[in-house]
Amino acid sequence: MRRRIAAGNWKMNMGLEASVELARKVKDFTGIHAHSVDIVVCPTFLSLARTAGELEGSGIAVGAQDCYHESQGAFTGEVNPELIRDAGGSYCIVGHSERRTLMHETDKEVNLKVKSLIGGCIVPIICVGETLAERQALDTMNVVRGQVMRAYAGIEPEAAARTVIAYEPVWAIGTGLNATAQDAQAVCRAIRDTVRYIYDDTTADSVRILYGGSVKADNISDLMSEKDIDGALVGGASLKAAEFGKIIQAIAGMIQ
């Protein structure tokens, strides 16, 4: 059985004190669920170490929102997996649609980042998803399958099995629109079948697939009742401890 994940992407929000304060509230409200689901919060790089310090011993993990694939050297402004680990991080989001769109991040770069995260013992959360135009052109499955295939190029099955994929339809991120549970399940199923096609049954059945895109306390339960959805990557709603707490509770509550 796959262990479920509730991950919060704090994006470019909150300074040091606000991050530590939110982490403390998440711990107080929901730390009790950390034994049954993986809870992850992803603050900015600047707040990562202090947030990790606040959460030490709670079972709640901290992640980064991006990384650079090179190991060290003259890469001004960049942060590699080793530095993330050193600061207390154990997960890292890669290929978020905001980075793909605003920073023109490519599938090739996503693949390099995934490889370097695996090498640095950080769990990648690999974001994939179609734009509205691609959805309207009935191209969702092709787009998502292609992103998955390219993200895993050259990665061994044992390493791939420990990664996490977040299916985040671009049109649903921060818009208040979200895919129906049935639509999300169909794409998550296609993602799992793509992993099966690249590797084998064991790898496909081990990879954890999250849904992301305007997840809230009132829509998470439907999503979690679907077979191939193993949790959620939550943006806006993860900035409110009470709301994120309800989401975590719903994810934990669906475990049989």
Given 233, 241, 250, 252, the residue binding ligand PEP (CB under 6 A): 233
With respect to ligand PEP, which residue has the nearer C-beta, 105 or 203?
A: 105
- Known active-site residue 134: no
CB-based contacts of 102: which residues, under 8 Å, 6+ apart? none
Does 173 bind ligand PEP (CB under 6 A)? Our answer is: yes
With respect to ligand PEP, which residue has the nearer C-beta, 198 or 251?
A: 251
The catalytic residue among 54, 98, 130, 168 is 168
Does 128 bind ligand PEP (CB under 6 A)? Our answer is: no
Chain centroid to Cα 224, Å, comes to 15
CA quadruple 232, 93, 149, 176: dihedral sign: positive
Total of residues contacting ligand PEP (CB under 6 A): 13
Listed ranges 145-153, 167-175, 182-190, 218-226: which one lies at the site for ligand PEP (CB under 6 A): 167-175
- The CB-of-12 to ligand PEP minimum distance in angstroms stands at 11
Listed ranges 69-77, 155-163, 202-210, 212-220: which one lies at the site for ligand PEP (CB under 6 A): 212-220
Given 47, 51, 163, 214, the residue binding ligand PEP (CB under 6 A): 214
- The CB-of-11 to ligand PEP minimum distance in angstroms stands at 6
Given 234, 247, 248, 251, the residue binding ligand PEP (CB under 6 A): 234
Interhelix angle 181-198/140-151, rounded to 10 degrees, is 40
Tell me the one-letter amino acid at 236. Answer: G
How far apart are alpha carbons 110 and 97 in whole angstroms?
Answer: 11
CB-based contacts of 164: which residues, under 8 Å, 6+ apart? 5, 7, 91, 123, 124, 125, 126, 207, 208, 209, 210
The structure tokens listed for 239 are 């900035």
Does 60 bind ligand PEP (CB under 6 A)? Our answer is: no
Q: Decide: helix, strand or coil at residue 64.
A: strand
- Known active-site residue 96: yes
Q: How far is CA 121 from CA 116, 162, 196, 252, in A?
A: 9, 10, 23, 25
Which residues in the 8-47 window bind ligand PEP by CB under 6 A?
A: 9
How far apart are alpha carbons 211 and 233 in whole angstroms?
Answer: 6
Does 169 bind ligand PEP (CB under 6 A)? Our answer is: no
With respect to ligand PEP, which residue has the nearer C-beta, 40 or 198?
A: 40
Does 187 bind ligand PEP (CB under 6 A)? Our answer is: no
Are 122 and 89 in contact by the 8 Å Cβ rule? The answer is yes
- Binding residues vs ligand PEP (CB under 6 A): 9, 168, 173-174, 212-215, 233-237
List the catalytic residues.
96, 168
